A = this chain, B = another copy of it.
Amino acid sequence: MEDKLHEECGVIGIYSENSNDIAGHLYYGLYALQHRGQESAGIAINRNGQIDYHKDMGLVPEVFNDKIINKLTGNIGIGHVRYSTTGESYVENAQPLVVKYKKGDIALAHNGNLVNAEALKGMLEDSGVVFQTSIDTEVIANLLARHHKSDVVASIRKVMEVVKGSYALVMLSDNQLIGVRDPHGLRPLCIGKLSDGYVLASESCVLDTIGAEFYRDVEPGEIIIIDKNGMQSYKSDKWCKKNLCIFELIYFARPDSTIDGINMYLFRSRTGKILAKEAPVDADIVISVPDSGTPAAIGYAEESGIPYGIGLIKNKYIGRTFIQPNQEMREQGVKIKLNVLKQNIEGKRVIMVDDSIVRGTTSKRIVEMLKKAGAKEVHVRVSSPPVAYSCHFGIDTPYRNQLVGANNTVEEIRELIGADSLAYISLEGLSKAGGDQGFCKACFNGDYPMEVPLEGNNKKY
């Protein structure tokens, strides 16, 4: 529906030394991660070695209520939100996944995507394993069970040696909270401190929300074990090299989150400034496509000196379940999500800043709306390069033939969306905004940090 790439999941874990009352914090924490997944939500919690859980389809406040939260008592817990994709959208696939194995119950919550999940699944089935879900997390759970005789760190390491792909993983055993970040650090995971415990979370905004102090990010390839002895770190010196997904910075993460030392708002604002330098144009007003384009638009305005203003109003009650307009309504111009603030646009030369263009359909529609409202010129500026390759690491990208950036020149795209001019930030400009750390930029340049399946084999969410 929306012409955006989408994150697939968000995870959280809490360990409290003394309190059995952490479900409320998990709830608010998941709520702060709601932008990372709106399909399902779940919490699993350890009460004296037994794991209780509740998970269902829906937004966090839809899945949980006071009664459910009050029943979930215990001092170690994890939570998960999952993105609403079309296709394999069943409650069975909701997380955390809770399994019973030789050493007791464990619960797992996973953000990411395994590249070799199908192959591993085949191997496990050959030795007689049955599967009940279609999520990669069940593969990880079964691999862990293979090695239950080892200690927990050794068994996780063995799993890390065979799985390939992206994973920020939080796990709950009968007395430990465990966090793992893949050796490329593709997905974010950070550590926070509570007065009597620890928090693991996909984004630092969780820590602010629940009153925890930011401690540090989990490093690529690092295993974090939290129990009554405090926090232990187990790092690997082989195969680790940071390749943080740059789309986390461009769009996915909340603007108030800081990942691997980079604040999202400042990064986005910097991309706007760089874009203003790389692609200046004379105009009367800089507007953003709300809400995600706003930081870059403010940056563009600051750098260019052209005033920033509001040109598009977003209905703030946009939710998940929504009647779709029929064809006739669409032609009559039903504008459910966005409306032009005509009085701010009429007769003006407008610079419209967006964070990305995927299929181009929404951009086309907005340019039309602006022109109809009387904009003299519409100059589109995009704070990321053209998306031209599919992601294999947990981001929901269309097939290449649907990516407008994979199949058209910038001039062709400009014509297609009806803009008076169009410019994307350069890949170099983008990297510079992020301080030239190690990033995965494969969706722009096809340079994947590891071997990936051919497009044809890629399961499409």
Contact = CB atoms under 8 A, between A and B. Distances in A.
Contacts of A295: 310
Interface in A300-345: 302, 307-310, 313, 315-317, 319, 321-323, 325-326, 328-329, 332-336, 339-344
Contacts of A339: 32, 205, 208-209, 256
Nearest to A318: B316
A163 interface: no
- Give 10 closest A-B pairs by Cβ, nearest first: A102-B125, A99-B130, A211-B333, A128-B146, A211-B332, A100-B131, A256-B313, A128-B145, A263-B343, A101-B130
26 contacts: A24-B334, A31-B315, A35-B317, A61-B323, A65-B323, A66-B323, A99-B130, A99-B131, A101-B125, A102-B122, A125-B145, A127-B128, A128-B142, A128-B145, A128-B146, A129-B145, A205-B313, A208-B335, A211-B334, A255-B310, A256-B340, A265-B310, A265-B344, A266-B343, A302-B307, A319-B319
Contacts of A62: 321
A12 to B, nearest CB: 14
Interface in A121-145: 122, 125-132, 134, 141-142, 144-145
Given A61-B323, A129-B129, A323-B65, A335 B145 contact: no
B34 A317 contact: yes
A98 B31 CA distance: 32
B24 A329 contact: yes
A258 interface: yes
A344 B266 contact: yes
A25 interface: yes
A391 to B, nearest CB: 24
Given A24-B329, A125-B101, A313 B31 contact: no
